[in-house]
Amino acid sequence: MNVLLVYVHPESRSLNGSLKDFAIQRLEHAGHTVRVSDLYAMNWKATLDADDNTARQPGARFDPSMDSRQAFENGTQRVDIAREQDKLRWADGVILQFPLWWFSMPAILKGWVERVYAYGFAYGVGEHSDTHWGDRYGEGMLAGKRAMLVVTAGGWASHYEPRGINGPIDDILFPIQHGILFYPGFDVLPPHVIYRTSRIDEAGFSKACEALGQRLDDLWTADPVPFRRQNAGDYLIPELTLRPELAPGRSGFDIHVERD
Ligand SMILES: Cc1cc2nc3c(=O)[nH]c(=O)nc-3n(C[C@H](O)[C@H](O)[C@H](O)COP(=O)(O)OP(=O)(O)OC[C@H]3O[C@@H](n4cnc5c(N)ncnc54)[C@H](O)[C@@H]3O)c2cc1C
C-alpha cells in the first residue's frame, strides 16, 4: 500500500521527529511504500492567498474559493499545491502527525489543508442542489482511502477524558477528524494520541513506539470511526440536520457518530 505521512515539527531531533522515523521504518518493513511531506523542511507556504492561482489577472479582486476553483480546473495552481494533491491521489492511506498546539494542529499544517484542499478537489465536489448537497462527509475525491492522526500532547490522558478540564479529546479533534478528513471522503481511524510528552524517557519512548507500531500494523484492518454519511439517509436535505428520530433529544459532535 502507499502511505503519505504528512509530518509537522520544526525540529528533526524532537519526539515527533523520532516517531516519524520509527513510523517510516515500521511501514516500510511491512512492505508499504512511504512518502513524507515534512512541512517545515519543505518550507511549506502556510498562507492561502492570491499567489496560489498563477493565472490571476493583476489587480483582480481575490476570491479564495473561486480563484481556487479556477486554478484547479485550469491547471494553474501553484506547483507546490498540485504536487501535494498528486501525493493524496497516490496514497491509499494518509497519516497526519503533529504536536497538539493550542488544542489544534500547528498553523503550518492548517495552511497545508487550506491550500491543498482546493475547490473541486476537496470541496465543491458533486451535484449541489436542494436534494443532493455535494459529495462530502463520506463521499468525495478521497473516498476509499484511510486516514489517521498521530498526535502528541503535553497534557495527561486524564485531562482529555470526558470530564477532564481540557475537554474530551474526541471533541477537540472532531473538526479535524470529521471536518477535514471525513468531509472529502476518507475513512477515518480513531486518532492515536501520545499524552504527557514531557515525561517521556527512553523506556517511555519504547512504549510509545510499541503502541504506535501496533496502530500502523492495523492501518488496513482497524474499524474506522462510524461517522454518519451525509447522503445515506440520516440527514434531512437541504437542512442537513440529523433526522429527529435518530439520537432523539441529543445534540453535539457525538450524534454524528453512529453508535447503534
Ligand atoms: C505553542 C504550543 C502550544 C501547545 N499547546 C498544547 C495544547 O493545547 N495541549 C497540550 O496538551 N499540549 C500543548 N503543548 C505541548 C505540546 O503538545 C508538546 O510539547 C508536544 O506534543 C511534544 O512533542 P515534541 O515532539 O515537541 O516533543 P519533545 O519536546 O521533542 O520531546 C518530549 C520528550 O520526549 C523525549 N524524547 C524525544 N525524542 C526521544 C527519543 N528518541 N528517545 C527518547 N526520548 C525522546 C524528550 O527528551 C522529551 O522529554 C503546546 C506546546 C507548544 C509549543
The arithmetic mean of pLDDT across residues 214-222, rounded, is: 98
Q: What is the pLDDT of residues 141-200, one digit of tens each?
A: 999 999 999 999 999 999 999 999 999 999 999 999 999 999 999 999 999 999 999 999
Q: Specify burial of residue 227 (Cβ count, 10 A radius: 0-12, 13-18, 19+).
A: buried
Q: Which ligand 1 atom is at minimum distance from the Cα of 195?
A: 11
User: Percentage of the chain with pLDDT > 90?
Assistant: 96
Q: Ligand 1 centroid to 256 CA: how many Å?
A: 31
Instruction: Give the residue-averaged pLDDT of 81-85.
Output: 98
Alpha-carbon span 260 to 35, nearest angstrom: 37
pLDDT digits (tens, 9 = 90+) for 20-40: 999 999 999 999 999 999 999
Atom of ligand 1 nearest to the CA of 100: 17
What integer pLDDT is reported at residue 196 of this predicted model? 98
Q: Report the percentage of the chain scoring pLDDT > 70.
A: 100
Burial 108-123 (b: 16+ CB within 10 A, else e): bbbbbbbbbbbbebbb
Domain layout of the chain by residue ranges:
2-226
Q: What is the mean pLDDT of the chain?
A: 97
pLDDT value of residue 130: 87
CA 151 to ligand 1 centroid distance, Å: 10
Model pLDDT, residue 260: 67
| Sequential DSSP letters for the chain | -EEEEEE--S-TTSHHHHHHHHHHHHHHHTT-EEEEEETTTTT------GGGBTTPPTTPPP-HHHHHHHHHHHT-B-HHHHHHHHHHHH-SEEEEEEE-BTTB--HHHHHHHHHHS-BTTTBS-S-BSSS-B-S-SS-STTTT-EEEEEEE-SS-TGGGSTTSTT--HHHHTHHHIIIIIITTT-EEPPPEEE--GGG--HHHHHHHHHHHHHHHHTTTTSPPP-BPPTTTTSEETTTTEE-TTSSTT--SGGGGB---
What separation in Å is there between the alpha carbon of 19 and the centre of ligand 1?
12
Task: Kindly state if the Cβ of 202 falls inside 6 Å of ligand 1.
Answer: yes
225-250: average pLDDT = 96
Question: How much is the pTM?
Answer: 0.98
Kindly report the CATH number that applies to the domain delimited by 2-226. 3.40.50.360
Q: Verify whether ligand 1 is closer than 6 Å to residue 165 (CB atom).
A: no
